[in-house]
Amino acid sequence: FAPAAPAASARGAPLAAQVRKVGIVGGGTVGGGIVEILERRREQLVAATGGVGLEVKAVVVRDAAKARDWTAPPGCVVTEDLEAVLGGDRRGSYGPVDFVRSGGDRFAHTGDDDVDLVVEVMGGTTLAKDVVFRALRAGKDVVTANKALIADCLPEIEAVVAEANAAQGAGAPRVQFGYEAAVCGGIPIIHTMNTDFVGDEVTRLRGIMNGCTNFMLTKMEAEGLSYADCLAEATALGYAEEDPTLDVGGFDARSKLAILVRLAFGVDVDETLISCTGIAGLETIDFEYARGQLDGTIKLLGVAELDGAGGLTAYVTPALVPRGATLASISDATNAVEVASRNLEASLFVGRGAGRFPTANSCVSDVVACARGALPEPFAKKVGGVAFRSDFESFFYIRIRYRNAIGIVKALGEICARHDVSIDSLLQKPHSDYFVVVTEAGPRSRVEKVAADVEAEAWCVGDVFFMPVATQE
Ligand SMILES: NC(=O)C1=CN([C@@H]2O[C@H](COP(=O)(O)OP(=O)(O)OC[C@H]3O[C@@H](n4cnc5c(N)ncnc54)[C@H](OP(=O)(O)O)[C@@H]3O)[C@@H](O)[C@H]2O)C=CC1
Ligand SMILES: N[C@@H](CC=O)C(=O)O
């Protein structure tokens, strides 16, 4: 596939010498944004692709009769029929590239209308998997924002991309797979990890990887809004997943972390083995202790680090973040990823992690790279010899609600001693039903045992909540 040199249009902008026919599966928050950007930036994108026009031929939705907050461009159908996008076989070729002038600067194909680039932005891991795999097997490039799907079956996707390329035959273009939007929305972290760290050795990744929950935590802390109100607002703004349990349960961040682990460390980790705690257990009192007693705030973090002894730990959890740490200042739907590495030492990537245009922007970047035949290989090579460990070490914050009794501190001390957990400090706001224990550094598994034993005490009310205390750097 060799794009021809662009000609100039009457308005001075380059004209499409060839056309990539794009089919989008999903016309919601992200899909609508992609349609809008491709239309708004049509001429500039022809220049960016080196003369290849991007024509959206079909947008597949669940309910074609539903009113949309975006407009289908001329020549594009909005349909419930997946065949409009998946039909046809593009193996070995991108098909005819002839076009005729059809009005303005828009060009239409004289040949078949089979889509040759599929953008999957419907979400889910069942039908979406069929869409992605079928498209790849038919020799179509695929761009997706679907981290749940990638984390769920990354090795399978890798195999299907390889299979699709083997079927292309000598001299035929590569079948490309792009997923920039799948991790941290608008931050170009996939491209960066795939290209800019190849000569480096990453030792730690730490970040805020879910926009919905960061938006919620920001609102809960700053405005004292309820969990339910914050989630409703995040949903209205297009940040939440169709099933918001994925956001608030930490699972969405876990999927993103699993993908980054592969790119940064060359290790495939079964994401279900990654310790994952969401934000549902947090209470107003935790923000009060974080702010008042511990000079910090609370963020949902994804962390992955080498332990220096051939092991890799990874986890998703709310964490107490010191006020002076960079991550403490990341608010609303913004995401941030800190990367510690041997050559670059400390790098920080910050940007919008969710929402229509930040996410659609990443999809469009992938579409343009596909049109230029320039998407890098999707997944960094695997390395051997790194063992994944699901337990991890940290200082911990443990919040306990209690009813008054004699000997609580003694009992707590005995429980901690039993599980080899060393107490750094005991904190209590005056006249509070709660107290907080901050531990010295130790494994999470021991703190979990302390929490279970405390919950069994007659003076303990409800569940014990615990989270790591993040380091400043
Ligand atoms: N929103 C965000 O900020 C981000 C989202 N993502 C990912 O992007 C993907 C899409 O998210 P988003 O746009 O927010 O989701 P939406 O729920 O807003 O949109 C989903 C779209 O897919 C369509 N759809 C769903 N099921 C089917 C089906 N069975 N057949 C045909 N069409 C179907 C829906 O059709 P209909 O409209 O008719 O119901 C809708 O148009 C997800 O994988 C998500 O994780 C990634 C990064 C950020
Ligand atoms: N629900 C996700 C959307 C982007 O990935 C989030 O809030 O981060």
Residues with CB under 6 A from ligand 2: 185, 210-212, 239-241, 247, 252, 353-354
Average confidence (pLDDT) over 405-418: 97
Work out the burial of residue 40: count CB atoms within 10 Å of its CB; fewer than 13 is exposed, 13-18 middle, 19 or more buried.
exposed
Q: Please compute the mean of the pLDDT values over residues 34-47 and round it to a whole number.
A: 97
Ligand 1: which of 61, 152, 255, 334 to mutate, judged by most atoms within 8 Å of the beta carbon?
61
**Rounded-to-integer distance, Cα 355 and Cα 211, Å:** 8
Considering only CA atoms, which of 264, 327, 308, 310 is closest in space to residue 468? Answer: 327
Is position 410 annotated as part of the catalytic site?
Answer: no
CA of 238 to the centre of ligand 1 (A): 10
Choose which residue among 56, 69, 122, 251 to substitute to test ligand 1 binding: the one with the highest number of ligand atoms within 8 A of its C-beta: 122
DSSP string, 147-197: HHHHHHHHHHHHHHHHHHHHTT-TTSPPP-EE-GGGTTTTS-HHHHHHHTS
238 Cβ closer than 6 Å to some ligand 1 atom: yes
DSSP labels, 211-241: HHHHHHHHHHHHH---HHHHHHHHHHTT-S-
Q: Which protein residue has the closest C-alpha to ligand 1 atom 18? A: 28
Strand blocks (E) in 231-377: 275-276, 296-306, 311-322, 334-341, 345-352
Statement: residue 407 has pLDDT above 90: yes
Q: Mean pLDDT over residues 135-163, rounded?
A: 97
User: Which two tokens mark 53?
Assistant: 């026009």
pLDDT band with cut points at 50, 70 and 90 for residue 228: very high
Q: What is the ipTM metric for this complex?
A: 0.99
Instruction: Indicate the pTM of the whole model.
Output: 0.94
Q: What is the pLDDT of residues 339-363, one digit of tens each?
A: 999 999 999 999 999 999 999 999 9
Cβ pair 174, 215 in contact under 8 A: no
Index of the ligand 2 atom closest to the CA of residue 147:
5
pLDDT at 18: 87
Q: Which two tokens stand for residue 349?
A: 């990537």
pLDDT of residue 1: 44
CA distance 391 to 409: 27
State the pLDDT at residue 437. Answer: 98
* Residue 13 banded pLDDT, cuts 50, 70, 90: very low
Rounded to an integer, what distance in angstroms lies between the CA atom of residue 235 and that of residue 244?
A: 8
pLDDT digit string (tens) for 277-317?
999 999 999 999 999 999 999 999 999 999 999 999 999 99
